[in-house]
A = this chain, B = another copy of it.
Amino acid sequence: MKREVWSSRFGEWFRDVLLNAGILDYRYPIKGFGVWMPYGFEIRRNILQVMRNLLDATGHKEVLFPTLIPEDLLAKEAEHVKSFEEECYWVTHGGSKRLRVRYALRPTSETAIMPMVKLWVRSHADLPIKLYQIVSVFRYETKATRPILRMREVASFKEAHTIHATFEEADAQVREAVKIYRRFFDELCVPYLISKRPDWDKFAGAEYTIAFDMICPDGRTLQIGTAHNLGQNFSKAFGVLYETEDGRREYAWTTSYGISGRAVAAPLIVHGDDHGLVLPPKLAPIQVVVIPIPYKGFEERVEEAAKSVASKLREAGIRTELDLREDLTPGSKFYYWELRGVPLRVEVGPRDVERGEVTLVRRDTLERQACPVESVVDSVKGLIEKLTEEMRERAWRWMREHVRRVESLEEAKRLLEQRFGVVEAPWCGEEECGHRMEELLDARILGTPIDMEEEFQGRCIVCGKAANQVVRVAITY
């Protein structure tokens, strides 16, 4: 439950826990490429299922586009290619034959999807189209790579792409995307800030970009989701026209929104502690581990009781592991499953058996409580709900404590240097002041809050002019 290593040596903590808990092995012989191990893959599967459920329920259709994009397609949208060409991996040969056109490993799929959409869209009746896919994307990053946080192969990129008849519909779609992502991160118990990125930091080819950021234990922020209104930029570049009700031909309006493998990292980062992972029960491959505490003369009775509890829990649909390994002491088993973040432990010892009880131990608080065997299923169900709620609240509280309104450059600078988290600074709205602020603070502007209700009046911390908005500023990953 201590969170010293977690916060003070976060980078190290994260790298170690990924390998030791069997999430991601980062020793693959290409830098920035990792191996999703069985336990990590199961967490990833559960998380992606949450996403699929949300998207399927809102009329999105899952599809699968090719991994490769010919260079001439990628180049069709000018801003887009400018931003991505230096980050692409390029396929130049098939066997020993040089290819006529180079292929990029997709960095994102707008330019793969648009030429097909052009074939699919005839009239307004074909719209809207709402597609998504979950695929690997590739970025030849020049920045230092980090396991999951900055990979060169992002192995769980969920990208959605939608096509609409009007700007308003595209705009409403971006709002729907934000709503879906809110629910998604709520289910993951991950708190977030939602900001409209400044113009100079929007997605290449977008009208505007809305982004979700979280705060890591080291005070740096991590972008965990983005939604873009792409206007008619891509439809014009690719000639995606549709016939309106009154027979005119118009360019379509498109959006895209994505969530990367970082969505898998986010709950691990937010809830972890010095013992290892703490998984929200919904994502946990194993929700409850049952561990018998044998004692001379009681071995059989204890084991029988543990088995019976485990099968009761399984029958109730709770993902339960019964740890009967003979070569490990109960203490080593505690350590093993705490590291892996199993939300609840059920201990069955000789005294428990005598009393007709078991002992329940929460992973998040390490609190213990006795529970009569008859009501173990109800107690476990109740605790799962309770600890999910408490994990979510605790994480939100922690995040809110790491966001602070500032009045001056000095205050902002001091907080950012302390790696406090996110500062919200009054800003006049001028791009020049924005750049200057980033420079003076040696930090990045996340953008203007779109999750803030109250009106604001203040003075820009750079130029001192009246400011009716704040910008969020942080040291980012």
A27 touches B119 (CB 8 A): yes
Partner of A38, one of B37, B62, B93: B62
Q: Is A89 an interface residue (CB 8 A)?
A: yes
Collect the chain B residues with CB atoms within 8 Å of residue A42's CB. 62
Q: How far is the CB of A229 from chain B (nearest CB, A)?
A: 23
Q: Is A429 an interface residue (CB 8 A)?
A: no
- With A61-B41, A94-B140 known as contacts, the answer to whether A33 contacts B116 (CB < 8 A) is no
Residue of B nearest to A45 (CB): B62
Q: Is A92 an interface residue (CB 8 A)?
A: yes
Partner of A67, one of B27, B44, B67, B90: B67
Q: How far is the CB of A111 from chain B (nearest CB, A)?
A: 11
B35 touches A65 (CB 8 A): yes
Q: How far is the CA of A138 from the CA of B89 in the complex (A)?
A: 16
In chain A between 247 and 264, which residues have their CB closer than 8 angstroms to a CB of chain B?
A: none
In chain A between 1 and 56, which residues have their CB closer than 8 angstroms to a CB of chain B?
A: 25, 27-30, 33-38, 41-42, 44-45
Q: Is A66 an interface residue (CB 8 A)?
A: yes
B94 touches A91 (CB 8 A): no
Interface-side segment among A80-88, A358-366, A469-477:
A80-88
Q: How far is the CB of A24 from chain B (nearest CB, A)?
A: 9
Q: Is A70 an interface residue (CB 8 A)?
A: yes
Q: How far is the CA of A95 from the CA of B85 in the complex (A)?
A: 6
Main SS at interface, chain A: mixed
A38 touches B66 (CB 8 A): no
Q: Is A149 an interface residue (CB 8 A)?
A: no
Q: How far is the CA of A30 from the CA of B100 in the complex (A)?
A: 11
In chain A between 117 and 161, which residues have their CB closer than 8 angstroms to a CB of chain B?
A: 119, 131, 136, 138, 140, 142, 153, 155
A93 touches B92 (CB 8 A): yes
Q: How far is the CB of A162 from chain B (nearest CB, A)?
A: 13
A30 touches B91 (CB 8 A): no
Residue of B nearest to A65 (CB): B35
Q: Is A73 an interface residue (CB 8 A)?
A: yes
Q: How far is the CA of A63 from the CA of B87 in the complex (A)?
A: 27
Residue of B nearest to A62 (CB): B41
Collect the chain B residues with CB atoms within 8 Å of residue A61's CB. 38, 41
Q: How far is the CA of A96 from the CA of B93 in the complex (A)?
A: 16
In chain A between 432 and 446, which residues have their CB closer than 8 angstroms to a CB of chain B?
A: none
Collect the chain B residues with CB atoms within 8 Å of residue A97's CB. 140
Q: How far is the CA of A372 from the CA of B383 in the complex (A)?
A: 48
Collect the chain B residues with CB atoms within 8 Å of residue A93's CB. 89-90, 92
Q: How far is the CA of A136 from the CA of B119 in the complex (A)?
A: 24
A92 touches B92 (CB 8 A): yes
Q: Is A57 an interface residue (CB 8 A)?
A: no
Q: How far is the CB of A74 from chain B (nearest CB, A)?
A: 11
Collect the chain B residues with CB atoms within 8 Å of residue A153's CB. 66-68
Residue of B nearest to A103 (CB): B30
Q: Is A449 an interface residue (CB 8 A)?
A: no
A-B pairs with beta carbons under 8 Å apart, 5 shown: A27-B116, A38-B61, A89-B91, A94-B140, A95-B140
Show the binding face of A for B, using Cβ within 8 Å.
Answer: 25, 27-30, 33-38, 41-42, 44-45, 61-68, 70, 73, 85-97, 103, 105, 112, 115-116, 119, 131, 136, 138, 140, 142, 153, 155
